[in-house]
Amino acid sequence: MPVRVRLDANRIAALRRNARQVLRKLDAPIHAAMRQTLDFSSFLVPRRDAWEREEAPSSDGPPLPPLADTGFVSGPEYNQGRPLSTSWTAGYEHPAAGPIHEGFHWGTDIVNPPPHFLKKAFRRSRSVARKGVAQVLAAYLKQHFPR
């Protein structure tokens, strides 16, 4: 998810020079946003009746667990190239649902979440991610580059 933060060019250059440290600092707010996204989505996941909640047989192989029981959060994934980024993924390990992606990227908008039932939860957690990223960047700049 692209996050727009207003900073002057000198401060952005300072952040880029210390990219590895900055990306590691961004892990906490992005992980929190992904955890919240998964929590929100758990209320939107389709559920079956109690007698159907046991592992369902699959024509392709072993039985599949219920969709609601397959949630995960994984990350961080760092890209030290261009654009610099850190990403976390949350979703359900089930054929009925795919992962959603949350990250912080310098550069062009490269993330467009797929349209599925997790999209609503993803939208709700964006403000949490934006605020967290803005706070971390401001705190990092204040700590390492005081004026």
Position 4 in a domain: no
**Res 63: pLDDT:** 73
Rounded to an integer, the average pLDDT of 86-95 is 81
How many angstroms separate the Cα of 146 from the Cα of each of 36, 73, 94, 139, 140?
A: 33, 35, 48, 10, 10
**Res 52: pLDDT:** 54
Least confident segment among 53-57, 69-73, 89-93: 53-57
Q: Residue 131 belongs to what domain range?
A: 9-144
Position 96 in a domain: yes
Number of structural domains in the chain: 1
Predicted confidence band at 118 (pLDDT cuts at 50, 70, 90)? low
Position 2 in a domain: no
Least confident segment among 25-29, 48-52, 84-88, 106-110: 106-110
Rounded to an integer, the average pLDDT of 31-45 is 84
Position 1 in a domain: no
**Res 132: pLDDT:** 83
**Res 129: pLDDT:** 79
Single-letter amino acid, residue 32:
A
Give me the sheet containing 85-92, strands edge to edge: 71-79, 85-92, 100-105
Decide if 7 contacts 140 (C-beta within 8 A): no
Position 131 in a domain: yes
Average of per-residue pLDDT values in the chain: 74
Give CA–CA dist 61/139, Å, rounded: 51
Position 89 in a domain: yes
Position 59 in a domain: yes
Both tokens assigned to 76: 């961080």
Residue 117 has pLDDT above 60, yes or no: no
Position 15 in a domain: yes
